[in-house]
Amino acid sequence: MNKVWLIMQREFLNRVQKKSFLITTILVPLIFPAVIGVLVYIMKKEAESAKADTVQVVDESGKFVFENSKRYTFVPLSMPLEQAKKAYNETKDFALLYIPPFDLSKPEGMMIYTKENPSIEKVGNLESILEDRIRDLKLETYKIDQETLKSLKVSVSLKQINLSDTGEEKSSNSQILYFLGFGLGILIYMFVLIYGIQIMQGVIDEKTSKIVEVIVSSVKPFQLMLGKIIGIASVGLLQFTIWIILITALSTGVLGYFGLKMPQQQAMEEVAKSMDNQEIKVAMEQQSSKATELFNNFFQLPLGKIAFVFVFYFLGGYLLYGALFAAVGSAVESMQESQQFQFPITLPLLIGYFGLFMFILRDPHGSVSFWLSVIPFTSPVAMVGRIGSGVPDWQLGLSMALLIGGFLFTTWIAGRIYRVGILMTGTKVSWKVLIKWFLMKA
């Protein structure tokens, strides 16, 4: 054990002391807030500098009263369309809106003239302004006054409650669960792949630099493999911990600097300011109470359990695949040569990754989700995707036990291939050769 510790220590220190480690560990978290910061900055600048588009209006129906908003300034023209078109062409205005006289039951013939192709969004905006007005006019013809109209507008949001077997009620939120599952699943997928390949690279380096024969004359090949896998895992854990801390701190800092709350909230506030509209205020209050609820719901989740499960599958998945990557590294002599084996061993991981989107996040309790989160090769990604939605204890237990069994199994297989592979050079390796090595006596 002492020797495994020595090997682990070397692997760890050797990587952590490298400049590249320092750079990636610091740069990656900087990139996130930097990207967010730049985007927010651009958005804000744009919002500040954006001038309202001027829309000239020829309203022959006489039914419309346009209110200027932050986005549009309406200029009513009292001239025939042909003349207006000529006049419009000489201005730099965004559009010319033409409304012919029309029957309320059949609002047709409205046109918009622009110099450039307008975005779908802008056309849609204008359309909804027109639709709203026409609907109001229609309602008026049914003798419904403004007050009644206002009171007609309601907003409903379903509060989700999970009823447990014991009848205990827990509020839940599928949105939070979705993003949590999504985020954790991707993290595990990335971690396994990135550090698995590092293991493979490390083994190839040892093999091609020929140091390996000296090392295995001091320690068992299995100890070397184990030390390497654990050493690299600790590098990964350290790096991820630093990333999470830095990203959280920096993101909070950047958002705070720009004085931002949630983007939605900001948009609502702006609208409210410009319109000073009672109903929107109400909606906003609803929205912000919803945000608080999201927040509360998040902390109502069994976070301790989720964290534990995440770390467990994080390590379990890494160990399971790490051993396989080590075996591949021991068999080949270059990264290129490793390609043919890399795909088959990462395929189950990939299946877990796609399963996360196709089944687990959509239907965390379906039978495909169950199997994906129980089979050890896919369970690391799948189970953390499911865990927030509440997984029965027996399923979690089964999955964990299978994962432990799974990595013991892959480590055993990998160890047998590894001990032969690291000393073999100049062999053209195929699956058949790997099987032969696996079966070989020590």
Partner 1 sequence: MNALIAKDVTKIYSEHTALDHVSITIPEQTIFGLLGPNGAGKTTLIRIINQIINADSGEVLIFGEKLRPNHIEIIGYLPEERGLYKKMKVGDQLLYLAQLKGLSRHDAMARIKVWLEKFEIKDWWHKKVEDLSKGMAQKVQFISTVLHEPKLIILDEPFSGFDPVNAQLITEKILELKANGSTIIFSTHRMETVESLCDHIALVNKSKKILEGPKKQVKESYRSNTFLIEHRGNHFTLPAEKYEIKEQTKIEEDLFSTTIKAAEGIKGNQVIRDLIDITELYSFQEKLPTMADIFIGLVKADGDEALRKHLQEV
**Helix/strand/coil (H/E/C) assignment for every residue in 141-157:** HCCCCHHHHHHHCCCCC
In our burial notation (b when 16+ CB lie closer than 10 A, e otherwise), range 397-429 reads eebbebbeebbeebbeebbbbbbbbbeeeeeeb
CA gap 129, 110 in Å, rounded: 13
Nearest Cα neighbor of 270 from 49, 69, 73 is: 69
Q: Does 219 bind partner 1 (CB under 8 A)?
A: yes
The contact mask relative to partner 1 for 198-217 (x = CB under 8 A, - = no) is -------xx--xxxxxxxxx
CB 191, min distance to partner 1, A = 24
CB 231, min distance to partner 1, A = 12
Q: Does 23 bind partner 1 (CB under 8 A)?
A: no
The tokens for 212 are: 């390996």
Which of 19, 106, 432, 441 binds partner 1 (CB under 8 A)? It is 441
CB nearer partner 1, residue 151 or residue 209: 209
Q: Does 14 bind partner 1 (CB under 8 A)?
A: yes
Binding residues for partner 1, rule CB under 8 A, total 25
Residues 234-263 that bind partner 1 (CB under 8 A): none
CB 194, min distance to partner 1, A = 20
CA gap 396, 215 in Å, rounded: 40
Q: Does 159 bind partner 1 (CB under 8 A)?
A: no
CA gap 398, 363 in Å, rounded: 20
Residue 70 DSSP one-character state: S
Place of tokens 């990595």: 407
Report the alpha-carbon angle 292-242-189, nearest 5: 80
Q: Do 193 and 320 touch, CB atoms closer than 8 A?
A: no
Q: Which stretch binds partner 1 (CB under 8 A): 10-18, 61-69, 303-311, 406-414?
A: 10-18
Strand 111-114 and strand 160-163: the pairing is unpaired
Q: How many CB atoms lie within 10 A of CB 347?
A: 11
Q: Does 3 bind partner 1 (CB under 8 A)?
A: yes
What are residue 162's phi and psi, to 5 degrees? Answer: -95, 125
Q: Which stretch binds partner 1 (CB under 8 A): 2-10, 134-142, 179-187, 387-395?
A: 2-10
CB nearer partner 1, residue 8 or residue 84: 8
Distance of CA 263 to the CA centre of its chain: 17
The contact mask relative to partner 1 for 392-431 (x = CB under 8 A, - = no) is -------------------------------x--------
CB nearer partner 1, residue 3 or residue 44: 3
CB 243, min distance to partner 1, A = 24
Residues that bind partner 1 (CB under 8 A): 3, 6-7, 10, 14, 18, 205-206, 209-220, 423, 436, 440-442
